[in-house]
Chain A
Amino acid sequence: MSAIEHHDDEHGLSHVASVKVLVGTGGTLLALTLVTVLATKLDFGANINLGIAMLIAVVKATLVILFFMHLKYDKLFHTVVFVSAILAACLFVGFTLMDSSQYQQTNIWHPDNPPTAPYGPRPTSG
């Protein structure tokens, strides 16, 4: 029993993160924050700049999830729960974007200047 206690990873109710991992993760996150700020100074075009910023954000998020949140050492079921939530969130965003070109222009209704058909009032015949 006492032999088990010497294994840093195994004793107790759950995994204990080593100081090295914690500080390393924190340091990397801070460095990546600096990188993402500096990346905006360079002009690669709006889309590529957005892509770079999002890539860095995803890497940072992954580091937080794996090491700060201990998901790497946690039960697989917790990963299943959390990853499915993220996938669902991606699905929401993706699906909304997918048909966003189907939307019509915003029509601001003004009584003096009603929008023309097909948005306008139906002709009142009879």
Chain B
Amino acid sequence: MSPTQQAHEAHGDDHGHHGSRFIAHHYDDAQHQFDSGKLGIWLFLAQEVLFFSALFVAYVLYRSHHPEIYSYAHKWLQVKFGAINTAVLIFSSLTAAWAVRAAQLAQPKRLILCLATTILCACAFLGIKYIEYSHKYHESILFGRYFDPCVSPGGVDLLTKKNECKGVKSTIDWDAKAEKAKSGCFNVDKIDQDPHEPGLQADCTVIESVGATKRTIGDKCAEETIDETEGSPPIAKKFPCWRPAYQPAVCPDLVDGPGDQTEGTRREMGYASHHQVGVMVEYGDEEERGDDVKIAATCTDAPKPAAVAAAAAHDADKAKVLGQKAIAPIHHMTTHEEHELESMGPPPEHTSMFFTIYFAMTGLHGIHVLFGIGVFTWLLIRALKGHFTPDYFGPVDYAALYWHIVDLIWIFLFPLLYLIH
């Protein structure tokens, strides 16, 4: 008689000499059955590693070719959610491992508690994933041709192809062949955000009211007052539209806007999206110049140093006319500034590939979690029926091993997708 059978009988679970009734007769004994199952699950896990490795190959290959896409696109993902999900999965892995221990030591209450906690954690993981996915769905930050983002990671509105964004965007009729908007524009509120934007198309006419104009870029706010034109009727002005992110754009000179007429301060930054060039133009006194006026210029194309420099020189002249000190363009921005500007600009070409890979990897992982919930629910039902005993706990052990591999894969997915530097 094996020690486990001995233990069994001591617990009064009377199955005679055969141990647990779940030990199939074609096995020599409980150990034989357990070992067979265990080998099977390890082979399955090996297959899972190979299965996921194909996606990791896609990830690594694409990242090595297009690092700029990864460093831009990951800013759409919230580290907070990824980190919470990592912690939730690690905790559920702990409870799964504890469930095995409880089954081995014939602690049915603890087993049920551990299994239930594991299921709850798995549901919490999927719940958080749902929040993330639905946000991306609403903002059209999706895979392949469904990638048509409404807002850049820095919170700046982007011109979209299909204009399926929630909120106040007005209609844009996009001519894909000519790569420009046929008609339509954002509403005035949106346009007001940034009339100085280079890299825009000046083919939309909107009426701008006179008075205080509030500009908001990301969470930074600046107010400009147009004094000189006060009292005069509203001026019809040509205002630019955003180009869609993924279309090559030429950077024209800075578009003149109401800011030029003010005595106040203005600070402009130009950049080329692949962060080769950054130009910052500032004029006005240090005291007068608020730090909060920050305008991101967007050029999706290769840097156009000539255009940006010309605009800078133009502004410097203007500053001289106003009798203010012109600060020379700064050609090297700090990493932080660069990142901030980058996140306000439109995404680089083929950014949709990041989300194709993101959804493929997290989606496949999510399906594994879903399957895990099913398995653990089945285990919970069996545990409630008292099926698991020290000589028959194989299913708990195998499911826990599966659950650990799900955790293991997330341990790699989290830094690779959310924590890109």
Q: What residues of chain A have their CB less than 8 Å away from a CB belonging to chain B?
A: 1-2, 4-5, 11-14, 16-17, 19, 22-23, 25-26, 29-30, 33, 36-37, 40, 43, 46, 49-50, 53-54, 56-57, 60-61, 64-65, 67-69, 74-75, 77-78, 81-82, 84-86, 88-89, 92-93, 96-97, 100, 103
User: With A68-B404, A78-B42, A100-B65 in contact, is A13–B30 under 8 Å at CB?
Assistant: yes
Q: Are A97 and B61 in contact, CB atoms less than 8 angstroms apart?
A: yes
Q: Give chain B's interface residue range (CB within 8 Å of chain A).
A: 35 or more
Q: Are A13 and B391 in contact, CB atoms less than 8 angstroms apart?
A: yes
Q: Are B101 and A22 in contact, CB atoms less than 8 angstroms apart?
A: yes
Q: Are A37 and B83 in contact, CB atoms less than 8 angstroms apart?
A: yes
Which of the residues B7, B94, B415 comes within 8 Å of A54, measured between beta carbons?
Answer: B415
- CB within 8 Å of A: which of B53-105? 53-54, 56-57, 60-61, 64-65, 67, 71, 79, 83, 86-87, 90-91, 93-94, 96-98, 100-101, 104-105
Q: Are B90 and A33 in contact, CB atoms less than 8 angstroms apart?
A: yes
Q: What residue in chain B is nearest A89 (Cβ atoms)? A: B53
User: With A11-B4, A53-B415, A57-B412 in contact, is A92–B54 under 8 Å at CB?
Assistant: yes
A residues less than 8 Å from B100 (CB atoms): 17
Q: Is the interface of A mostly helix, strand, loop or mixed?
A: helix
Q: What residue in chain A is nearest B390 (Cβ atoms)? A: A12
Q: Are A81 and B46 in contact, CB atoms less than 8 angstroms apart?
A: yes
Q: Are B50 and A12 in contact, CB atoms less than 8 angstroms apart?
A: no
Q: What residues of chain B have their CB less than 8 Å away from a CB belonging to chain A?
A: 1, 3-4, 6-7, 30-31, 34-35, 38-39, 42-43, 45-47, 49-50, 52-54, 56-57, 60-61, 64-65, 67, 71, 79, 83, 86-87, 90-91, 93-94, 96-98, 100-101, 104-105, 335, 390-391, 393-394, 397, 400-401, 404-405, 407-408, 411-412, 414-416, 419-421
Give chain A nearest CB distance to B136 CB in angstroms. Answer: 21
